[in-house]
Amino acid sequence: MDRAERPVRRWPWIAAAALAGLAAAVWAILPDAGAARVERLAACYDPAALPPIATLADGRRAMRLRVLLWNVEGLPWPIRSGREQKLARIADWIAKRRAAGLGPDILILHKAFTPAASRIAQRAGFASILPGPAVDQPRHRPIPIPLAGHAEAGRWWQGEGIGKWLDSGLYVATDLPLATATRGRPLPAYASDAFYAGSCAGYDCLSNKGGMIVRLALPGTPEPLAIFNTHRNSREPSGVSIARAETAHAMQTRENDALLHGFGGDGAMIAAGDFNNYRAGDRIGRFANDAAFRLVARGTGFTARAAPMTDAQAWAAAYDLIGYRGGDALAVEPLAVATIFDGKNGPVLSDHPAQYVIFRLSWRSDAPTMPATVARCPARP
């Protein structure tokens, strides 16, 4: 007796085809990450654009730097819509401040994924605009031992394992000269590295997050100043369990540490990140174990105070934080800090307010001056 022919179940194939079509449609309407990416490396510097050097009461030489950190929420449709107008307002505000001689010396951006977001640094006219990892940039440095099973437990419907759709969204922009050599040896002006594809969690995996370091050679100072920028895995917005998001955060911290170790993170540094909570990674790693590293926290009014990594008040006071450390010959200290565009000090233009910090760099007057690595720009007629 012949066996009854089993009916063909078509619905799994139909569902798979529908999902594939939906993914292709979303991919097609997302902005081209390559088109949004901006990169500009100045071949010379304008002395008139540098902060002046003053002499302190104790005879030390000093320079003030204004640093603006802003997560601009430059996310594409369909994740966000209607962001162009507010991103343009952010760009216009920074450009007008700079035109008046009051703008930041260093601009640090997060979530600058779209052309309207990456144009913020262009509109402000910075001489050097340096991006973080590109959408297709693999990890170059060795990967710290990942947690066993983390990558294998990812789910594609939560954004994992389906590739990178956006770049890192990171930028550092400045007019300050870059350090292209040290002790007579050529040195990259900046370096970036993506996180390992298996160390992310949830929807954060759709962007090629990572870290970047820019090294500045400030004329008159005795050693370079490093600028570090990163955006680690989010918590609730990642769409996965808190435990999984925190595991990714800790692994990415170790990968940031590898970048700092490879490019040199022991000297004077200003570090910025999307550190909106005291997270798993913030309890471990290089910054947590560096006795010289401090967070910029609010004191009285706009006065800044130095806070250790474990300072709960500092973490609760700001969405994004800036930290710093001094070097052997170059001291770094915050003088003032303000949270702006938070609905109180300016309109809300992003889901994160901006952080504006004024730092003072100081050094002994008899310290050997670091040799210039970038030429002065020719005087304009």
323 band by pLDDT with thresholds 50, 70 and 90: very high
Task: Please write the tens of the pLDDT for every residue from 250-275.
Answer: 999 999 999 999 887 789 999 998 76
Tell me the average pLDDT across 40-67.
94
Task: Express each pLDDT in 281-308 by its tens digit.
Answer: 888 889 999 999 999 999 988 999 999 9
Q: Mean pLDDT throughout 329-353? A: 94
pLDDT tens, position by position, 105-119: 999 999 999 999 999
Q: What mean pLDDT do residues 119-144 have?
A: 91
CB 172 within 8 A of CB 130: yes
343-364: average pLDDT: 95
Higher-confidence position of 226 and 11: 226
Range among 79-88, 117-126, 175-184, 313-322 rated most confident: 117-126
Average pLDDT, the chain: 87
Could you tell me which residue, 162 or 72, shows the higher pLDDT?
A: 72
Q: What is the pTM of this model?
A: 0.89
Cα–Cα distance measured from residue 344 to residue 347, given in angstroms and rounded to the nearest whole number: 7
For the segment 39-45, the average pLDDT, to the nearest whole number, is: 91
Tokens 């890192």 belong to 168
pLDDT at 312: 87
pLDDT band at 165 (very low <50, low <70, confident <90, very high): confident
Mean pLDDT of 208-221: 94
Whole-number pLDDT of residue 28: 52
Which pLDDT score is estimated for 1?
A: 45
109 or 150: whose pLDDT is higher? 109
The predicted structure's pLDDT at residue 324: 97
- Superfamily assignment of 12-376 in CATH? Endonuclease/exonuclease/phosphatase (3.60.10.10)
Report the distance separating Cα 210 and Cα 112, nearest Å.
14
Read off the tokens for 188: 């990259």
pLDDT at 55: 97
pLDDT, residue 331, reads 97
Alpha-helix residue ranges (DSSP H) falling in the chain: 11-29, 33-36, 84-99, 115-124, 242-263, 285-288, 312-317
The whole-angstrom separation of Cα 167 and Cα 152 is 23
What average pLDDT does the segment 173-195 reach? 82
pLDDT at 189: 84
Q: Quick one: CA torsion of 33, 151, 156, 247, rounded to 10 degrees?
A: -80
Pick from 185, 181, 172, 222: which is nearest to 327 by CA? 222
Cα–Cα distances in angstroms (integers) from residue 86 to residues 60, 68, 72, 112, 225, in the given order: 43, 17, 9, 13, 32
| pLDDT tens digit sequence for 232-241 | 988 888 888 8
Q: Taking the CA atoms of 253, 320, 226 and 92 in sequence, report the sign of the dihedral they define.
A: positive
Q: Whole-angstrom Cα distance, residue 90 to residue 107?
A: 12
The answer to whether 339 and 363 have CB atoms below 8 angstroms apart is no
Residue found by looking up tokens 């390559």 in the block: 34
Positive or negative CA dihedral for 290, 292, 293, 298?
positive
The pLDDT value recorded for residue 318 is: 81
pLDDT for res 152 = 77
Average pLDDT, integer, range 50-70: 96
pLDDT at residue 377 is higher than 50: yes
